[in-house]
Amino acid sequence: KPQTELTTSNLMYVLWMFLVSLAWNWNAWFIPVRWAFPYQTPDNIYYWLLTDYMCDLIYILDIAIFQPRLQFVRGGDIVVSETGHLFDVASLVPLELFYFKTGINPLLRLPRLLKHEVFSLLSLLRVIRTTTYLLYCLHCNACLYYWGSAFKGLGSTKWVYNGEGNRYYIRCYYFAVKTLITIGGLPDPTTLFEIVFQLINYFVGVFAFSIMIGQMRDVVGAATAGQTYYRTCMDNTIKYMSSYRIPKDVQNRVKTWYNYTWQSQGMLDEQELLTQLPDKMRLDIAIDVNYSIVSKVPLFQGCDRQMIFDMLKSLRSVVYLPGDYVCKKGEVGREMYIIKAGEVQVVGGPDGKTVFVTLRAGSVFGEISLLAVGGGNRRTANVIAHGFANLFILDKKDLNEILVHYPESKKLLRKKARLSMNDFTRVPIYQHAKATRTVIVVVINAVVSNLFFWLVTPF
**Could you read off the pLDDT of 131-146 as tens digits, one per residue?**
777 788 888 888 988 9
**Could you read off the pLDDT of 274-331 as tens digits, one per residue?**
666 777 777 788 788 778 878 778 888 888 889 888 888 888 888 888 888 998 888 8
What's the pLDDT at 75?
43
Higher-confidence residue of 159 and 10: namely 159
Give the model's confidence band at 21: pLDDT under 50 very low, under 70 low, under 90 confident, else very high: confident
Residues 6+ apart with CB under 8 A from 386: 322, 342, 343, 344, 345, 358
DSSP helix/strand/coil, 320: strand
Cα(312)–Cα(269) distance, integer angstroms: 16
**Could you read off the pLDDT of 316-353 as tens digits, one per residue?**
888 888 888 998 888 888 888 989 888 999 998 888 78
Q: Where are the domains of the chain?
A: 11-218, 226-268, 293-431
Q: At CB < 8 A and 24+ separation, what contacts does 105-108 make?
A: 105/35, 106/30, 106/31, 106/32, 106/34, 106/35, 106/40, 107/31, 107/35
CATH superfamily, domain 293-431, is: Jelly Rolls (2.60.120.10)
- Within the chain, what is the greatest distance between any pair of CA atoms? 153
Highest mean pLDDT: which range of 74-88, 249-263, 278-292: 249-263
In 3D, which of 255, 266, 256, 260 has the Cα closest to residue 225? 266
Give the model's confidence band at 263: pLDDT under 50 very low, under 70 low, under 90 confident, else very high: confident
pLDDT for residue 410 is more than 80: yes
Cα(264)–Cα(272) distance, integer angstroms: 16
pLDDT above 70 coverage of the chain, percent? 77
Cα torsion at 205, 209, 210, 216 (round to 10°)?
170
- Is the pTM value of this prediction over 0.75? no
What's the pLDDT at 48?
93
Give the model's confidence band at 414: pLDDT under 50 very low, under 70 low, under 90 confident, else very high: confident
